[in-house]
Amino acid sequence: MQQKTISIEVREKTGKGIARKLRAQGGVPGVVYGKGIEPVAVSVNAKELAAAIAGEGGRNNLIALQGGGNLNGMTVIVADLKKAALQGTFISVDLHKIDLDAKVRVHVPVSVVGTAAGVKEGGMLDIVMHSLDLECLPTQIPDHVEVDVTALAIGHSIHLGDLTLAAGVKVLGDPKASVVSIHGKAQETEVGAEAEAE
């Protein structure tokens, strides 16, 4: 997991008017909260925020805060991020203070690699889960979970319980739930045989 840095300023004033003015100046109104601290209203530079969540890790990137008095040096993660529907600009951000020694639950994308044997036989790859919920220490958060489908045949699936993850990383959900499956040729042949019989 990547470590990023953003500079922040504590906001003395809050409200919609202040927030609009802040966004017009290239800032993003936000709040820093977490165990052991009172929520603190802050402003974040929009460009720095965009850079901090860029790349594979996205919103799971660990972020070190610079400035903000007592918040300086604190490690946070983006807990919530609101964007304008049309412009795509940031409206507000919630930064959650994290304990590097305490496990967190995160949403991580799935990266499918390889060409499935079933696809070569005419089957169709069905990616059922494009992301997974994981539980691990903040320093163990993977950028993605790689799923190798090379040996996957028609009519077969890779389930949550089949995934191999790094030590200390736990996938959440039903172990029997399918992550990827191969459909197609077997069903088509069966339908074709039925039609021929009729």
| Stretch 53-81: mean pLDDT | 89
pLDDT interval class at 1 (50, 70, 90): low
Pairing between β-strand 104-113 and β-strand 145-148 as defined by DSSP bridges:
parallel
Q: Look at the chain and report how many structural domains it folds into.
A: 2
Enclosing domain of residue 163: 104-197
Which residue, 75, 66, 24, is CA-closest to 42? 66
- Which pLDDT tens digit goes with each residue over 119-140? 999 999 999 999 999 999 999 9
Within this chain, do residues 82 and 156 fall inside the same structural domain, yes or no?
A: no
Assess whether pLDDT exceeds 70 at residue 76: yes
- Whole-number Å distance between alpha carbons of 92 and 67: 19
Sheet with 178-183, edge to edge strand ranges: 124-127, 178-183, 157-159
Listed residues 97, 123, 158: the one ending a domain: 97
Which residue, 62, 72, 5, 12, is CA-closest to 37? 72
Q: What is the pTM of this model?
A: 0.75
Assess whether pLDDT exceeds 70 at residue 2: no
Q: Environment class of residue 142 by beta-carbon count within 10 Å: exposed (0-12), middle (13-18) or buried (19+)?
A: buried
Within this chain, do residues 91 and 10 fall inside the same structural domain, yes or no?
A: yes
Within this chain, do residues 179 and 162 fall inside the same structural domain, yes or no?
A: yes
pLDDT interval class at 191 (50, 70, 90): very low
Within this chain, do residues 39 and 117 fall inside the same structural domain, yes or no?
A: no
Which residue, 111, 102, 38, 51, is CA-closest to 78? 51
Ramachandran area for residue 58 (φ above 0: left; ψ -120 to 50: alpha; else beta): left
CATH number at residue 140: 2.170.120.20
Which residue, 65, 70, 1, is CA-closest to 30? 65
Listed residues 52, 82, 97: the one ending a domain: 97
Within this chain, do residues 8 and 80 fall inside the same structural domain, yes or no?
A: yes
- In the chain, pLDDT over 90 holds for what percent of residues? 69
Assess whether pLDDT exceeds 90 at residue 68: no
Listed residues 97, 113, 137: the one ending a domain: 97
* Residue 193: predicted pLDDT: 45
